[in-house]
Amino acid sequence: MKDTPVPAPGAGPRRPGAAALTALGLGAAPLSPADASPHSFPDGGSWRTEVPSVEGPEALGVVLKESARLDVPVHRVSQGSGVWMLSDAEITEMVEGCAERDIELCLFTGPRGTWDTGASVRTDSGGAGLRSRGHDALAGCVEDALRATGLGVKCLLVADEGVLWTLHRLRGQGVLPADTTFKVSALIGPVNPASYAVFEQLGADSINIPSDLTLAQFTEIRRVSRAPMDLYIEAPDDLGGFVRMYEVAELIRRGAPLYLKFGLSRAPGIYPYGQHLRELALATAKERVRRGRLALDLLARHGADGDMAALGTRLPGPLNRFEISS
């Protein structure tokens, strides 16, 4: 069997099937240098990795074991059920487990949308979506943030613009540690350059965009913002179930700095997680790591596996913010 061709040094990523299609007169137009993102993480890396839906210490243990076995580099793990669904002991165990491997741990903040008494989110229009309704929901998110950071968590997931701005202001006042990072959830991910830039200004350190944006729309966003993107290479079914494996190299080229999120389609939801979902949570955590290995193998075959940010890095670099008044 012939080896898969890899681009010559400096030639850039190999496009899938390029040589064979060109020989048949079906070659695609050359990629434009103008489409490439001019941005990167602080160390010059273009991409990092994230394993989502890691709902507790046991699931984290599976991810750590599988990522070592399959040699999958992990920069960040994130949880979707929320800080309130974990005990102090469980949070501490996750913080310590991630610290041993120099992996960033990100936990979701507070009550939101479908876990509320509001009915509008269940209508055909979706109402206010997954945002936090009322003062009490906002307060719950703040309480979660204070508790989690007090236990050593460095990254918080948010699904509401007001929550984001409030936590950013608390970070600026020193109520939350200065090195806390805020990750905008895919549940409210922006879909145009202006809204993406607003999330950056409100305090976001990485922003999960929907997995159905076109390549051109990635480039449009990068013309106005350098805030890191989070992107499900494979999206859960409730976020569309999109699988964009073959586009990974081009998504990095246009979207850098970019977190590659190894989600899982065709899998039942596990939020909010409890022991009644244990076997499913552990099995899907293991499979997400395998999906990551498949994505990294594909990048390698296309000669696009270079420029990964160093393991252990987590900060986004300088970003544009709205002024915080005193």
User: Which residue in this structure is represented by tokens 């409210």?
Assistant: 188
In DSSP terms, which residues pair with 181 in a beta bridge?
A: 155
Rounded average pLDDT over 52-75:
97
At residue 124, the pLDDT reads 66
Measured CA to CA, the distance from residue 132 to residue 201 in angstroms comes to 20
Q: Is the pLDDT of residue 57 over 90?
A: yes
| Entry pTM | 0.90
Token digits of residue 84:
């309130």
Higher pLDDT, 159 or 110: 159
At residue 13, the pLDDT reads 79
Rounded average pLDDT over 173-180:
97
Question: Nearest Cα to 142, choosing from 169, 122, 178, 115?
Answer: 169
Mean pLDDT over all residues of the chain? Answer: 90
pLDDT band at 33 (very low <50, low <70, confident <90, very high): confident
Measured CA to CA, the distance from residue 97 to residue 58 in angstroms comes to 10
Domains of the chain (ranges, CATH numbers)? 36-117+129-301 (3.20.20.70)
The mean-pLDDT minimum among 47-51, 135-139, 155-159, 310-314 falls in 135-139
> For 9-25, how does the pLDDT look when each residue is reduced to its tens digit (9 = 90+)?
456 778 888 888 888 88
150: number of Cβ within 10 Å: 12
Q: Is the pLDDT of residue 325 over 70?
A: yes
CB 282 within 8 A of CB 233: no
Terminal CA-to-CA distance of the chain, rounded, Å? 67
At residue 29, the pLDDT reads 77
pLDDT band at 2 (very low <50, low <70, confident <90, very high): very low
Q: Is the pLDDT of residue 218 over 70?
A: yes
Q: Is the pLDDT of residue 126 over 70?
A: no
Measured CA to CA, the distance from residue 1 to residue 101 in angstroms comes to 38
Q: What share of the chain is helix, strand, coil (3-state, %, to 5)?
A: 40, 10, 45
Percent of the chain at pLDDT above 90? 70
At residue 65, the pLDDT reads 98
Q: Is the pLDDT of residue 1 over 60?
A: no
Question: Nearest Cα to 144, choosing from 178, 170, 174, 120?
Answer: 170
What's phi and psi for 15, nearest 5 deg?
A: -80, 140
User: What single DSSP character describes residue 318?
Assistant: S
